[in-house]
Structure 1
Amino acid sequence: MNKPVVVTEETLAAPVVSPELPQAAADKAAASGPAYAVIGGLSVSHFLNDTMQSLIPSVYPILKANYALDFAQIGLITMAFQFTTSLLQPVVGIVTDRKPQPYSLAIGMGFTFAGLIMLSVANTFALILIAAATVGFGSAVFHPESSRIARLASGGRYGFAQAVFQVGGNMGTAVGPLLAAAVIVPFGQPSIAWFSSIAFIAIVVLWNIGRWYKPRIVTKKQAMAAMPEGMPTSRKIMIGLVVLALLSFSKALYTVSLSSYYTFYLMHKFGVSTQAAQVYLFVFLAANAAGVFFGGPIGDRIGRRYVIWLSILGALPFALAMPYAGLVSGTILVAIAGFIISSATAAIIVFAQELMPHRVGMISGIFFGFSFGVGGLGAAALGEVADARGIEFVFTVCSFLPAMGLIGFLLPSLPKNVGGKA
């Protein structure tokens, strides 16, 4: 049975090859390694995309003060962005599985650009919600197809490629609060428009990646023909996907509790300034990005099931201790918990893709969308809880979320020739 075509750096300028490669040719292509230029371009684009998107939660204190918003309304802004993304990403994935759209990435970046412009001039809560939803639409278009291209360019190192792609986004998310502290806090809401200029760089990069991808598209039919032998039964695949979804739920909700409300927690409990709180938030987000980077390659080597199980459950003791720690020690605990729990990010996506390799776009869309959806609904719910019971109560409850890692042992085994040691 033929394996899917694997693209390498040496083939960037090569003519289109037949999808019916002999087995020996496919093995040779895989052995030549990843297409680093493409993976790097995707990571840079993800960095630029998520830098712009991370400005939304970074300016929450400004929006809250300017328009007298309560925590529930702050949560609704997050929901407008993340829920829009969660609903549309699976749709985008299904569409691109059937008919890949190589230039959709550049188009999606255009919506992110437009959303930031709208957010910089929005003067009502309704307009803020529309701007956030527009940015969310751009994210919905960007993520599923980018994940597919990262897998195509991986040269068989799926965890590595997914981790490099993902860490670009995490680094962008981490940098956002620093930019907000340095620029938006002193210059106000209109300065958000300045950051939309970097969208042009991302559009150019993504347009060129689309040109690279177009002649190398692997159709759903070709992917199904390359399915390896020894895959789990349909029942075990469904159980595996449900387990991965539940683990994504615990990971996403714990992360969003910090990304959306950690600044308010620090200002309330320790009396730090808005700018100082943004710096502490950066520490957590930077640790999160580092965990994503290391988790993918480790999964390629020791097995994705072990990384998934250990990373989420391993964050539990640090998460439980954080609400009772001081400012410095709490920051250290948050950073450690963020590093550990985020190491499952690439492993979860790749494991899900390997369970259904003929529907990579749909699976990527569902899991990216599910994470955003959980984040959006979770942010709104946590905002309600914070208004009713206080911000410290929120973090006490959320500290138990990593305990859901206990169900990781239910994940099925995959054939040894699927990715790494799945």
Structure 2
Amino acid sequence: MSTQLGVAGTRTDTVKSATVYAILVAISSVHLMNDMMQSVVSALFPVLKDSLRLSLAQIGWIAFTLNMTSSVLQPVVGLISDKRPAPWMLPLGMLSSLLGMVGLAFAPNFYLLLLAVVFVGLGSAVFHPEGSRVVHLAAGNRRAFSQSIYQVGGNFGHMLGPLMTMLIFLPLGQKGAIWGTLLAVTAILILLKVVPWYKKHLAIHNGMMQKRKAAGQAKAALAPKVVALALAILFAIVFARSWYAAAIGNFYQFYVEETYGLSIKAAQVPLFLFLAAGVAGTFLGGIAADQIGRKKMMLISILGAAPFALLLPHLPLAWVYPLIVVLGFILQSGFSVSVVYAQELMPGKVGTASGLITGLAFGMGGLGAVVLGYLADAYTLSFIMAACSALPLIGLLAILLPKDRREG
């Protein structure tokens, strides 16, 4: 009997430690499509600025609406789904994004455009916490690496924004957004395959957790004050990264047009390089974090990016291209790691932790877009880029984070 129990325990441990790559790739591909649909919004900015005669402040409000819709609802969705996980919410969220794509293509004015953006934001708010839970279940003992695969999908989707501007929206205009509906439909079809696996393994995971609690094997939670301090530091780091990313993602294309005299199409190249390097950084940062630890990787990420951020506004054009690649790579190498760190701070609350960190990133980026848009209208884009270049220095606070806490 003891031998049988030992074999059963070994099987359970194997299931728990195995990484399910097929599911990770599937949910990462949906993340790519979700974030591509979000990228459609920012990719349309150069077109909408002329066709609807938008100010930089109005562009900031569009980014704010998208990001805050996602931000405010992500922790709420995560909290609800931690108590009552609902796999069916994944395809439902994609349906909301599909409606948003239709609205973006045909909105005749600024206010209907904002309404369409709300639908895109709602879809993203539903997807991210549930998607992170799927990753958590499929990760096995490679948490940071698995989260990086998931985040690479999203970063790759954002990376394609400048390419969409060049290849789709400049030639086709606003109505080119209708192609985004194909992304939503494809994502729904993939999710219809993922949801049954999710439901099955969610039940297995919940059963294992109940047995561990009954056997007294659950890891003791950290003191609430320690968790609160660590989360506050994480929020500060996310704030710094998100505001800086908002400055680059929303306004850098206009800055290089103004400063270096580039065309709209040529101005997409530095932005594309920044985002493409961020994809590679996200992937390799997850691998490194499983080896050297979450805290060290976050420190390397945001503090390592600081000198390059400070240099960027003061370089001749030829040096912008290589430096922005290095900057994007280092800055984004710690984002997926911060999500895993938060999940391990709050064991049993995967959706809430993921919603707080990724939702906060979207929200802070959206708030940053509005504030920076008004400042750019009031002052200059050069002032904004120079001021934002100091933001990564806030990453010094990561030194105060507690040591890694790996929860099984």
Per the alignment, residue 285 of structure 2 pairs with 295
Per the alignment, residue 152 of structure 1 pairs with 137
Q: State the Cα distance separating 1:236 from its structure 2 match.
A: 1.2
Please say if residues 293 and 404 of structure 2, whose CA atoms lie closer than 8 Å, have aligned partners that are also in contact: no
Q: Aligned equivalents of 1:155 and 1:331: distance in 2?
A: 38
Q: State the Cα distance separating 1:23 from its structure 2 match.
A: 4.9
Question: Which of 83, 94, 99 is equivalent to 2:79?
Answer: 94
1:122 aligned to 2:101?
A: no
Please say if residues 241 and 331 of structure 2, whose CA atoms lie closer than 8 Å, have aligned partners that are also in contact: yes
User: Is the deviation greater in 215-224 or in 390-399?
Assistant: 215-224
* Residue identity in the other structure for 2:141: G
1:265 aligned to 2:255?
A: yes
1:379 aligned to 2:365?
A: no
Q: State the Cα distance separating 1:195 from its structure 2 match.
A: 2.5
* Residue identity in the other structure for 1:178: L
Q: State the Cα distance separating 1:180 from its structure 2 match.
A: 2.1
Per the alignment, residue 316 of structure 1 pairs with 306
1:202 aligned to 2:191?
A: no
Per the alignment, residue 222 of structure 1 pairs with 209
Summarize deviations over 1:109-140 as a string: whole Å, max 9, x none: 11111101101101111011111111001000
Please say if residues 58 and 278 of structure 1, whose CA atoms lie closer than 8 Å, have aligned partners that are also in contact: no
* Residue identity in the other structure for 1:174: M
RMSD of the TM alignment (CA)? 1.8
Identity among equivalent positions (%) equals 40
Question: Which of 378, 383, 386 is equivalent to 1:388?
Answer: 378
* Residue identity in the other structure for 2:279: A
Number of aligned positions between the proteins: 397
Summarize deviations over 1:51-80 as a string: whole Å, max 9, x none: 121011111011111121111111000011
1:250 aligned to 2:240?
A: yes
When normalised by structure 2's length, the TM-score is 0.94
Q: Aligned equivalents of 1:229 and 1:364: distance in 2?
A: 20
Per the alignment, residue 274 of structure 1 pairs with 264
Please say if residues 270 and 324 of structure 2, whose CA atoms lie closer than 8 Å, have aligned partners that are also in contact: no
1:234 aligned to 2:224?
A: yes
Per the alignment, residue 30 of structure 1 pairs with 16
Per the alignment, residue 51 of structure 2 pairs with 66
Q: Aligned equivalents of 1:57 and 1:234: distance in 2?
A: 39
Please say if residues 80 and 133 of structure 1, whose CA atoms lie closer than 8 Å, have aligned partners that are also in contact: yes
Q: State the Cα distance separating 1:220 from its structure 2 match.
A: 10
Q: Aligned equivalents of 1:121 and 1:264: distance in 2?
A: 25
Q: Aligned equivalents of 1:23 and 1:230: distance in 2?
A: 22
* Residue identity in the other structure for 1:418: E
SS of 2:140's equivalent?
coil
Q: Aligned equivalents of 1:414 and 1:320: distance in 2?
A: 30
* Residue identity in the other structure for 2:402: P
SS of 2:282's equivalent?
helix
Per the alignment, residue 4 of structure 2 pairs with none
Q: Aligned equivalents of 1:97 and 1:176: distance in 2?
A: 32
Q: Aligned equivalents of 1:227 and 1:381: distance in 2?
A: 48
Please say if residues 51 and 173 of structure 1, whose CA atoms lie closer than 8 Å, have aligned partners that are also in contact: yes
User: Is the deviation greater in 48-57 or in 221-230?
Assistant: 221-230
1:81 aligned to 2:43?
A: no
Q: State the Cα distance separating 1:230 from its structure 2 match.
A: 5.7
Per the alignment, residue 15 of structure 1 pairs with none
Q: Aligned equivalents of 2:14 and 2:19: distance in 1?
A: 12
Per the alignment, residue 167 of structure 1 pairs with 152
Please say if residues 96 and 122 of structure 2, whose CA atoms lie closer than 8 Å, have aligned partners that are also in contact: yes
Please say if residues 270 and 320 of structure 2, whose CA atoms lie closer than 8 Å, have aligned partners that are also in contact: no
* Residue identity in the other structure for 2:288: I
Per the alignment, residue 12 of structure 1 pairs with none
Please say if residues 55 and 177 of structure 1, whose CA atoms lie closer than 8 Å, have aligned partners that are also in contact: no
Change (3 A) 1:404 1:269: same
Please say if residues 33 and 187 of structure 2, whose CA atoms lie closer than 8 Å, have aligned partners that are also in contact: yes
Per the alignment, residue 337 of structure 1 pairs with 327
Change (3 A) 1:399 1:227: farther
1:52 aligned to 2:42?
A: no
Q: How does 1:178-197 map to 2 (within 5 A)?
A: 178-197=163-182
Change (3 A) 1:280 1:229: same
Q: State the Cα distance separating 1:414 from its structure 2 match.
A: 3.7
